[in-house]
Structure 1
Amino acid sequence: MHDGENRVSTARANDYIRAEQRRFRRAQSGRAWAIKDLPQFYYLNNFNRFLADIHANCFDLLGQPELAFLTAFDALPQPAQCTYVRMANRRGYVFDKTKFRYDEIDQIDAQWQVLRDHDFVDPIGAALFRDWLSALPKPELTLVLAESVCETLFRKSWKKDRLIDIGHAHIDPDDAHIPDRFVAQGHRDTLQYLLFLYFGKIEDNLQAFTLRDLGLVKLSEIKAAKLRFQTIEEARTAYFYARALHDFKQGTDHDALSLISEVEDWPEPLCEQSARHAGKLLQKLGGWSERRDDTDAALALYDRSDSAHSNERVVRIRWSRDMADDRDWCRTRLEAMIESPASDTEAQFAEDFYARKFHKKRTSATTDLLRSATELFLDEAYRNQPERAALRHYKAQGLDAYRSENVPWRNLFGLLFWSLLHTSDMPRRRVPEILRAGQFYATHKDEIERRLARLDTPHRVLLDLLKTLSLHYGEDNALVHWGSRSLDRIQALVSHAPHGAVATILRQMAQDWRGTKDGFPDLMLIDDGRIRFVEIKTSGDSIRRNQLTRMRQLTAAGFECRIVKVRWAVDPDQPYVVVDVETTGGRPGLHRLTEIGAVKMIGGEVADEFQTLLNPQRSIPPHITRITNITNEMVAGAPLFVEIAEQFRTFMGDAIFAAHNVNFDYGFISAEYEMIDQRFRHPKICTCASMRRLYPGHRSYSLKNLCGDFEIDLKSHHRALCDARAAAALLCLINDKRMSD
């Protein structure tokens, strides 16, 4: 199980959360952290605080529907308020009243009438008919279909989503009998708008507040919508496009067709956010239309957007139609894009496409770059972590190597221009509006150039950056990633870059943040005092357009950039640690370790072994004892995991983590480290999956059966060290096969 998978899912119902936290507390009495109790009406307190924040901070962005909602909700009796908030906390908009049972809400049936009288619940009409079908249990849904739809149109065995589509397409909502026990949430759009003002994005329910109280996620206070939108018209337009994008991603083909049919009635974007979302929505709908082979609709949608992606798609579609008029149009359009490109990305596409179509160049710049890449052979156990494997390789060669990508550039940019980007009345959890709107360089040109000039004296600018870092370290910030090596990477970049190169890139970022904020190469290497950037690619990888653009910009600025293609091989000297764990149950984080056994393998030989019982700080269930023969008495005097954590980390070293069904063992080990606020990260290989791939045809790939088939000793099955030794023997078979192939 991967890190974090033991956390409560946002999709779980609120009434499950408190039961879950009680189970966590009982199971983890010795855990380094514990989920705190929530007060009885925590959800109502959260909702009222949310409404108060909206009223205090966004009053000018509220219209008559929102103000009426605030007043009406405040006038409701507390039990009715609780019922509405419980409803708003659930997924969807249609609910079965019989499934609402909460101990703290008295006479809940009476509360539904109160809510109906004040329009906080609605009858289910045609607009919510699909939601009603979704709210039905599958057996009841099939009965509804059997009564209203020809039986040849569906099968009961079909998935529920498909049955819902059938019902929505073939049942007239006006003819459907909807039981009185179903109600719809009232004031849906009003509440969604208020949540949008608070979070800056579309939220389907109030789960984020509960997860914050449980300590499972961080949630900032109101995102200062008043500073993002100058008028209520701007806020409503931004909400329209954010809502439409959300509905498109979550919706059906019917929803997409509805959006396209109403495109003439879309509001004019009035702010940077709505303009960005409008362009993205047009791109999404254009792509959807292309996938349906409706190129005329796609062209009409792309033509409404002036983004680089839309302009590219228009050219490609018209070229593919292979008509003389279209070819002439494409030539003219490409020449105009080359002459006056909207962005570097657009210029790159236009130049490349024009060269291939009109100058008979056979391959694209992307293909040329990939073909010129050098190759690097690495152990295939790192197959899922190619950048980390390459970093390890370069460090072994004695180079100063850093994971770079976008982080050092954003950190340097954010620290160098901190005082210009962040004033006292600006939110720091979002990219500053002046940057997103493309006005930063024009507004502060003289001061930006003065600071860029200081990069010519690295020791002085590093002192300035250190002061800013020390003063603001840890503050919430959308630009700067605070980490233990933040300054190390910046220092390497500033100190070893060619003269003027860093200033050139930062100037481009200041002038066009949206076009230059990402796509930087994976690794930064310092070789004999010279800096080199490396983009890592594996078989089947492609170069994204923004990556190609960034490499061109870096090269033009004076940096050396390369693409390295990783080829997977078997390193005979690669150390492996084959691990097996015994536990009190099957869920990492909830259940605990009782034993660890590990075998270190180098070159196919056993180099060392590790074994210890562990005190799980909870009782071992009898059925687990019957399997492992590990009793509560045996572990009573055993060490806690925290007492052996450093010893096991040292034993692991830089080895690859191997196990039979590796995610189980790795999940438990990493969860134990998480409990003591440490990270555990190693590449991993699964002996079970590898045996299936390399030795097909066995009746079973369990450890016991494979040991029987290959005559491997397994005398104390379900004891950690014995199982680890057996899995190590399988690893030898796996590596022998890999090397022979």
Structure 2
Amino acid sequence: MLPDSPDPFYYLANFERALAWLDERCADLFDDPERRFAAGFAHLPRASRALFVRMLMRKGPHFRASRLAYEEIGCPRAAAAPLVAARWIDDAPMLDLAALAPLVTKAELQALATRLGIALEPRATRAAMLAALGSHYAAAPEPRAWDAWFPASPDTVLLFTAAPLCERLRLMFFGNLHQDWSEFVLADLGVYRYESVPLDDASRAFQRREDIDTYLALRDCRDELDRAAQAADSNGACALNAAIATTLAALDALAPRTQVNAWLRARHDKLRHAAGLAAERAGDPELAWRAYLDCGHPESRYRRVRVLEQLDRRDEALALATAIAEAPLNEEEGQRAARTRSRLARTRAKSKATAEPGFAQRELALVAAPAGLRVEEAARLSLTTAQAPVFYVENTLINALFGLLCWPALFAPLPGAFFHPFQRGPADLHAANFVARRASQFEACLAELDTHAYRDSILRRYADKAGIQSPFVAWPALSGELLALALDCFPAAHLRLWFERLLREPVANRSGLPDLVRFWPHEGRYELIEVKGPGDRLQDNQRRWLAYCAQHGMPVSVLLVRWPDSDSTGTAAASQALRAP
């Protein structure tokens, strides 16, 4: 997919723009190879620079020269020569069978097997050919050059040796490794649009070279843990516990290096929590306890309660569950801890923390089968009328209203929030102090709800910011009609209550909102409806939103949908399931 541009070197221009950006903002973080690259890349011939970026953006690291044919570059071998001299490409790499396999065709594998005297089935698949070659080299062959594998081939193989260097540059630019240089192309094409946020030196993801090394070390730890977990899932290997212990030892060593960078500390705690979960799945509560004990992840404190149960330390588990229920970090933790406390205390009495205001429940018996429709859409079609249209909104509408009104707060240029021009939202969205750092900005936004200013702000941003990435606004789910109905029918007081709950836990409370909204535009009122089909249950986050709305007198209900062939017994069972905590 190419942008509509007359410049065939658009990709090179984008990479050089990123390189100049890095040189201006992050030069103090470069090591010697990165400094040499930043200084020397611009002096190479354009064809060489273009070939470098083409290889960077393709899956490698090995490439056959014949497959690097680009009209604007010309001869790939000639273009590669300066890159070989700079040692960013190796033009004579040694290849083992694993490196060779993705480079060769089935016909070439057949020819190689014939030359080695390996008998193959007449219609052998590529996989069978590779297996036969692997069996032939029971002891893996010494790596050899391409022309040693295929002496008669006119082709050659290039190894992109600059990949690790470019990975570090990409990390410095984006502050993560899940985004890549294609972001420039997608932005140029208009596939994604991003809010323009002022960036200064304090906006960098990394302030010290050691931070980059720490990030990569955490990444390596996570990769090792994931590989061990996958191996345990596939063949029941018992090495998972050892891998978890190794991960925890590495995290203990890395912990001091994360203390000065809250963002890295959060990544450290997230990995430590993942190690604890893996230990629980592996049936090692002692190891899980070690993982959770010194972990700042918001879910780790409650996991300690469960591990204490597994260790048969029930009195300690009850004491911790009680402490959490009385002073929870968030609603979800409080709900879980109160439920566990009741179970541990062997009482059926609901604690104050789990008491839920009642919300209305109704039944809907569909006249005809939904013909492949989701239950929510079938219910919407059944309920909607010309006087009271019904929309499927789930987690989109209220979040979007919040995101549009609070846009200035969400995209405030605070240190550690925005690292580069391609961010969907602030990097510290998951941080415990996310709202506190922007308290004055959020307060100013919500103050508009006391006047009619909020309507103008929301409508103006709906027009001005349309399509710009946001963690709260799902643009395809919005329309001018839906927005106008919401602003006409949602009281400002209810908007404030919803937004205040979102601000308590901006990430967790984005989900669990009711499926449908029904508007009575001539009466200026609405109803939120959670739809449940036969046998479906309310999730905990849905219960919390329903309870919150009911507590504040908002029109909210649960709709139990019954299929044409279901009986009252099934509906009663579904109703009971909704009541069950």
Q: TM-score, normalised by structure 1?
A: 0.57
Q: Indicate which of 251, 259, 264 corresponds to 1:274.
A: 264
Q: 1:100 to 1:418 in 2, by over 3 A?
A: closer
Q: Is the 8 A contact 2:248 2:272 kept in 1?
A: no
Return the offset for 1:442: 3.7
CA offset at residue 41 of structure 1?
Answer: 2.8
Where does structure 2 lack aligned partners over 5 or more consecutive residues? Answer: 148-155, 233-239, 566-581
Aligned to 1:94: 62
- Whether 1:194 aligns to 2:197 is no
Of 47, 50, 69, the match for 2:37: 69
| 8 Å contact kept, 1:376–1:567 | yes
> Within the alignment, does 1:510 sit opposite 2:484 as a pair?
no
Kindly indicate whether residue 39 of structure 2 is the aligned counterpart of residue 43 of structure 1. Answer: no
Give the corresponding residue for 1:229.
205
Instruction: Indicate yes or no: 2:327 matched with 1:340.
Output: yes
Contact 1:212 1:218 survives alignment (8 Å): yes
Counterpart residue number, 2:191: 217
| Rounded Cα–Cα distance in structure 2 between residues aligned with 1:121 and 1:520 | 53
> Which residue in the other structure is 2:544 paired with?
549
More RCO (CA 8 Å, sep 6+): 2
Q: Residue 402 in 1 paired to residue 399 in 2? A: no
**Which residue of the other structure, out of 64, 75, 79, is the alignment partner of 2:47?**
79
Preserved CA contact (<8 Å) 1:202 1:246 = no
Residue 328 in structure 1 maps to residue 296 in structure 2: no
1:198·1:222 contact (CA, 8 Å) conserved in 2? no
Q: How does 1:483-632 map to 2 (within 5 A)?
A: 483-485=479-481, 487-488=483-484, 490-492=486-488, 494-495=490-491, 500-526=493-519, 531-539=526-534, 541-569=536-564
Task: Name the CA shift for 1:557/1:184 in 2 (closer, same or farther; >3 Å).
Answer: farther
Compared with structure 1, are the counterparts of its residues 373 and 192 closer, same or farther at alpha carbon in structure 2 (3 Å cutoff)?
A: farther
* Residues 645-684 of structure 1: CA deviation (Å, up to 9, x unaligned): xxxxxxxxxxxxxxxxxxxxxxxxxxxxxxxxxxxxxxxx
Percent identity reads 23
Instruction: Say which is worse superposed, 81-90 or 470-479, in terms of deviation.
Output: 470-479
Aligned in 2, Cα 1:344/1:218: closer, same or farther, shift over 3 Å?
same
Question: In the aligned structure 1, how far is the partner of 2:88 from the partner of 2:270?
Answer: 34
The 1:358–1:241 alpha-carbon spacing in structure 2 relative to 1, beyond 3 Å, is: same
Whether 1:261 aligns to 2:274 is no
CA distance in structure 2 between the aligned counterparts of 1:140 and 1:299, rounded to whole angstroms:
54
Amino acid corresponding to residue 518 of structure 1 in structure 2:
S
CA contact (8 A) 1:429 1:478 kept: no
- Letter aligned with residue 510 of structure 2: K
Offset at residue 450 of structure 1 (A)? 6.7
Compared with structure 1, are the counterparts of its residues 428 and 191 closer, same or farther at alpha carbon in structure 2 (3 Å cutoff)?
Answer: closer
User: Are the equivalent residues in 1 in contact too, given 2:388–2:519 (CA < 8 A)?
Assistant: yes
CA distance in structure 1 between the partners assigned to 2:179 and 2:103 by the alignment? 16
Partner of 2:152: none
Indicate the SS of the match to 1:410: helix
187-196 vs 486-495, greater mean Cα deviation: 486-495
1:324 match: secondary structure: coil
Following the alignment from structure 1 to structure 2, what is the Cα–Cα distance between the partners of residues 163 and 225?
A: 54
TM (norm. structure 2) is 0.70
Partner SS for 2:558: strand
Distance 1:324 1:108, change over 3 A: closer
1:520, CA displacement in angstroms? 1.9
Map Cα deviations across residues 600-654 of structure 1 (whole Å, 9 max, x no partner): xxxxxxxxxxxxxxxxxxxxxxxxxxxxxxxxxxxxxxxxxxxxxxxxxxxxxxx
Answer whether contact 1:290 1:298 (CA < 8 A) is retained. Answer: yes
How far apart, in 1, do the equivalents of 2:303 and 2:179 lie? 32
How far apart, in 1, do the equivalents of 2:457 and 2:427 lie?
Answer: 25
- How far, CA to CA, are the matches of 2:404 and 2:70 in structure 1? 50
After TM superposition, list the pairs within 5 Å mapping 1:148-163 onto structure 2.
none
Q: Name stretches of at least 5 consecutive residues in structure 1 with no aligned partner.
A: 1-16, 19-34, 571-741
CA apart distance, 1:193: 2.6
Q: How many residues align?
A: 522
Structure 1 residue 358, shift from structure 2 partner: 2.9
Change (3 A) 1:38 1:263: farther
Does the 8 A contact of 1:125 with 1:173 survive in 2? Answer: no
**Letter paired with 2:61:** Y
Tell me if structure 2 keeps the 8 A contact 1:196–1:203: no
TM superposition shift of 1:345: 1.0
Change (3 A) 1:63 1:384: farther
Question: Do the aligned residues in 2 keep the contact of 1:416 with 1:451 (CA within 8 Å)?
Answer: yes
- Deviations for 1:471-513, whole angstroms, at most 9, x for unmatched residues? 6566554444554246325415642x7xx54433322333432
Distance 1:258 1:57, change over 3 A: farther
Q: 2:507 aligns to what SS in structure 1?
A: helix
Q: Tell whether the 8 Å contact from 2:489 to 2:525 is kept in structure 1 after alignment.
A: no
Say which of 392, 395, 414 aligns to 2:403. 414
Distance 1:346 1:199, change over 3 A: same
Quote how far apart the aligned CAs of 1:225 are.
8.8
**Equivalent-residue separation in structure 2 for 1:460 and 1:131 (angstroms):** 63
Partner of residue 425, structure 2: 431
Letter in 2 for 1:55: D
Alpha-carbon distance between aligned partners in 1 of 2:371 and 2:297, rounded to the nearest angstrom: 38
The amino acid of 2:250's aligned partner reads: D
- What whole-Å deviation, never above 9, does each CA across 1:68-88 have from its counterpart, x for those lacking one? 322233343333323322221
SS in 2 for 1:101: coil
Selected match of 2:380 from 380, 383, 391: 391
Q: CA distance change for structure 1 residues 521 and 61 in 2, over 3 Å: closer, same or farther? A: farther
Q: Relative to structure 1, is the Cα distance of residues 419 and 533 closer, same or farther in structure 2, using a 3 angstrom cutoff? A: same
